[in-house]
Amino acid sequence: MDIAQTTAPEIAPTGQATALLLTGRLLRPQSLTLDALRAFPSVTCAPFDLRCYTTQRFIRSVEPYRGVRLTDLIEHAGLRCEVHGEFKRMIFLAIGHDGYAVPFTWHELFNTSVGAQAIVVYECGGKPLTEADGAPVLFSGADLVPAPRHVKRLARIDVRAMTI
Ligand SMILES: Nc1nc2c(c(=O)[nH]1)N[C@H]1C(S)=C(S)[C@@H](COP(=O)(O)O)O[C@H]1N2
Ligand SMILES: [Mo]
């Protein structure tokens, strides 16, 4: 996977560094600053305890997160289908600056209750998250194990169509 292009700091016309790229099978690929993320409708999630899946280690208690739904960002960019009905085979790879990545499927996001709580987070406990805190964070609030999908310093959402 080549993520080199997402690690280079990009400066938007406002002078603010790009927080998040939306790339791949989209009609309108996006390059969004934190302010641009804040301009979308926001949702909050309940506080939770973050654990590591591998070690089961307790990491920290997290105050309510606020952010924008991943589905809102995807709808804003528009899915680009090359074959009729192809959107149902699409996956969304959420990639951090360090290459750590988690996937979502179209069905999961748009056809189950996971989508309502899959958010790109920019605020925690009412306070803005800084880059040092890991902003923006991709968080999946409906995940069942106490180690939810949680990507710090989210850099890119890459949209791919699965082929058979
Ligand atoms: N960008 C990024 N996010 C990540 C990871 C990572 O390596 N890179 N590791 C995940 C894992 S496996 C765990 S357990 C937690 C660790 O959170 P912490 O670094 O805040 O302790 O972050 C998750 N998010
Ligand atoms: Mo982990």
pLDDT digits 0-9 by tens, 77-95: 999 999 999 999 999 999 9
**pLDDT score of 116:** 98
**Every domain of the chain and the residues it spans:** 20-161
Pocket flag, ligand 1, residue 152 (CB < 6 Å): yes
Q: Is 150 helix (H, G, I), strand (E, B) or coil?
A: strand
130-154 pLDDT per residue, tens = 989 999 999 999 999 989 999 999 9
Q: What is the DSSP letter of 151?
A: E
Whose Cα sits closest to atom 7 in ligand 1? 100
Give the span between the Cα atoms of 159 and 79, in whole angstroms. 8
- Listed in sequence order, the residues at least 6 apart from 5 whose beta carbon sits closer than 8 Å to its beta carbon are none
Give the span between the Cα atoms of 133 and 129, in whole angstroms. 6
Of 151, 153, 156, the residue with max ligand 1 atoms within 8 A of its CB, to mutate for a pocket test, comes to 151
Give the span between the Cα atoms of 157 and 101, in whole angstroms. 9
Give domain 20-161's CATH number out of 1.10.1030.10, 3.40.50.800, 3.90.420.10, 1.10.520.10. Answer: 3.90.420.10
